[in-house]
Amino acid sequence: MKVKKDAFSDASAAPDDSRAPFLLIFTDLDGTLLDRETYGWEGALPALEACRARGVPVVLVSSKTRAEIEELRDSMPLSAPFISENGGGIFFLRHTFVHLPPGSVPAPPTVDAMPSSSGGEELWMLPLGISYCLIVKALQEIRQELGLKIRGFSDMGIEEISRLTGLDRAGARLAKMREYDEPFIFPGGEPEDLAPLHDAAGERDLQIASGGRFYHLQGKNDKGTGMDLVTDWYKGYHGRVVTVALGDSPNDFSMLERADFPVLIRSGRTFPGLKQRIHRLRITDVPGPEGWNSAVFNILNMA
């Protein structure tokens, strides 16, 4: 699909109306902007195009890898920064910010030096997570210590990842190119079995997050921390920034808690007490990209 890129991806570009607050959207991918089963996002294209036309950056925030998100972003009308692996790293094109965010560095090539899909533009990053080799080593120790049958992506071949995720082989290969987070399954595990896992992760200064399909062992980074940083970077250019966050799983709640407009995308799961915890929470009527599309149009019409 041929799509136009967002015209105002440069954070320093002046908004059309300087009195209007600058709108900034943070969105989860799987089950939110992407259909949970097919990974399609065409249902959200009208709202994505409206964001592009209005100069509203859409920041993709996912447990997916940099390689996966870069390929996706390239197929969408987007060039805003993105946040990979549950807040493990923030990536952006060099031209996005006139002044480089503190601590940012040129992004090193991905593990097997895939050609970058960022159109030849220099990709920069701010690393926030713990490096993957340390995370994998910790998962192996925890598995041995607790005698649990947990299996991480590092234990799996492309075929198995493809079968578990529904991704094709090329997609599964990108999903395996991890930098900050190890997704794992816990076959037959009961909720009470998770407590020792959380403790063992905590003892190593790590944590376990729950996504739509997998658990994730990762550093103390989360999506919300990445969102705070990117919001601050845009505030430096635009003053008042109004944030929207969309997600469908517990690893999105740190974003929903911070957002001016938090949106829970409907899924098969319910989260008792979430509406009490996040008073402004809106819940979409339909799941996936169609729910995303109507929620974003509603907010664009109000803002």
Catalytic residues: 28
Reading across the β-sheet that carries 215-218, which strands appear in turn? 151-152, 181-185, 215-218, 207-210
Q: Minimal distance in Å, beta carbon 61 to Mg ion?
A: 10
The residue type of 105 is: V
Contact pick of 101, 129, 212, 226 for Mg ion (by CB under 5 A): 212
Strands 261-266 and 241-247: parallel
What distance in Å separates the CA atoms of residue 59 and residue 74, rounded to the nearest whole number?
A: 13
Q: Minimal distance in Å, beta carbon 198 to Mg ion?
A: 20
Name the residue among 178, 191, 172, 165 with its Cα closest to residue 135: 178
Contact pick of 11, 24, 26, 30 for Mg ion (by CB under 5 A): 30
Q: Minimal distance in Å, beta carbon 136 to Mg ion?
A: 23
The verdict on 28 binding Mg ion (CB under 5 A) reads: yes
Strands 241-247 and 22-27: parallel
Stretch that binds Mg ion, among 135-143, 174-182, 189-197, 205-213 (CB under 5 A): 205-213
Q: Are 216 and 209 in contact (CB under 8 A)?
A: yes
The verdict on 248 binding Mg ion (CB under 5 A) reads: yes
The verdict on 287 binding Mg ion (CB under 5 A) reads: no
Q: Minimal distance in Å, beta carbon 288 to Mg ion?
A: 10
What distance in Å separates the CA atoms of residue 258 and residue 231, rounded to the nearest whole number?
A: 11
Stretch that binds Mg ion, among 12-20, 28-36, 51-59, 119-127 (CB under 5 A): 28-36
The verdict on 70 binding Mg ion (CB under 5 A) reads: no
Q: Which residues bind Mg ion (CB under 5 A)?
A: 28, 30-31, 212, 248-249
